[in-house]
Amino acid sequence: MNSQTRKDKRSADVGLIFNIQKFSLHDGTGIRTLVFLKGCPLLCTWCSNPEGQCFVPELAYNRNKCIGIHECDHCRPLCEMDAITHAADGKVEINRTLCNDCGKCVDACPSKALTLFGEYITVPDVIRIVEEDGSFYARSGGGLTLSGGEPISQPEFSTNVLSTARSRGIDTAVETTGFCEWDAVRSVCEHANQVFFDVKSMDSEKHRAGTGVSNELILENLVRLRKEFRKLRITVRTPVVPGFNDSREDIAAIADFLSRLPIPVQYELLPYHGFGEPKYQQLGRKYLLGDVKPPSQECMATLRRVVISEMNLTRTEA
């Protein structure tokens, strides 16, 4: 991406998001609205939301929707960076080294082949959208979950959204990588009823190879979070990625670490999937795990038995 990027408008009152998903059942209690914040300090090779990694809006291009320059050609003349060319079949091609994600081509595209991943939104607008489904939360015990990306990378905005939601009687949850300064973690999690905290590997070098960062800060933040917020519901999650952390030893090491926390946490293993691969194509990026298959049911069952053994759980607790 060209260095002449769009101005960053993020603040305590304005956040950058890339999606709002309603009626989720897997990211907190009851029926929930998920708000996905854009920007993440990790670059996990298996990430299913690559559009959530960059901290600014990004141009996305779905080639299948492009009707070609012979029928259209609205976008190309608008590009001041000369980043838009065309292939032999007339369909648009994007030079990502020239593109500055200005979005002018998006407004001109009639087929929506060109879109922007990322939009700025205010705290009141988030709350208004979340409250549209208030009756479902009341009946199911649901509410709002901030996801990403990494919501704690926009700490002031996330804190304001969660504190406002709780003041209006909405249950709140946060999904986090844990790779943030402690003051930001504390500020956001103080206003959450539940936290979903990723622990991907206990091996720091392996963690760096798979995510781009080491794991020391993450583990330190989890310990501090558990000690300081003793009544907070914390669920630790591990995405089980074949070839990265799918061995018995990998999962046993994480489970052993969790068993030593001063107050118990819940622990979930999530099987890897490659559903995000098309979004890499839209961003002009290569998906590095295209040949990796999800772990088998037998593998997941074996790893769950390891968790039960290491954490001294019953099968119902696991």
In 29-142 the beta strands, taken as DSSP E runs, fall at 32-37, 58-61, 84-86, 92-94, 114-117, 119-122
Query: Residue 115 burial (CB < 10 Å; 0-12/13-18/19+)?
Result: middle
Question: 239, 272 in Cβ contact below 8 A?
Answer: yes
Q: Nearest to residue 59, comparing CAs of 13, 112, 129, 7?
A: 112
> Residue 4: its pLDDT value, please?
44
Q: Nearest to residue 157, comparing CAs of 21, 263, 12?
A: 12
pTM listed for this prediction: 0.93
> Residue 8: its pLDDT value, please?
79
Query: Residue 196 burial (CB < 10 Å; 0-12/13-18/19+)?
Result: buried
The CA distance from 210 to 252, in Å, is: 19
In which residue ranges of the chain is pLDDT below 50?
1-4, 314-318
The CA distance from 255 to 305, in Å, is: 11
Read off the DSSP letter of residue 62. Answer: -
Question: 158, 188 in Cβ contact below 8 A?
Answer: yes
Q: Nearest to residue 155, comparing CAs of 194, 192, 127, 196?
A: 192
Torsion of CA 301, 307, 313, 316, to 10 degrees: -30
Q: Per-residue b/e over 241-276, b at no fewer than 16 CB within 10 Å?
A: bbebbbeeebbbbbbebbeeeeeebebebebbebeb
The CA distance from 237 to 241, in Å, is: 12
> Residue 6: its pLDDT value, please?
60
Helix (H) or strand (E) holding 254: helix 248-259
The CA distance from 80 to 64, in Å, is: 24
Q: Which domains does the chain have, with CATH numbers?
A: 14-56+119-310 (3.20.20.70), 58-117 (3.30.70.20)
> Residue 3: its pLDDT value, please?
40
> Residue 9: its pLDDT value, please?
87
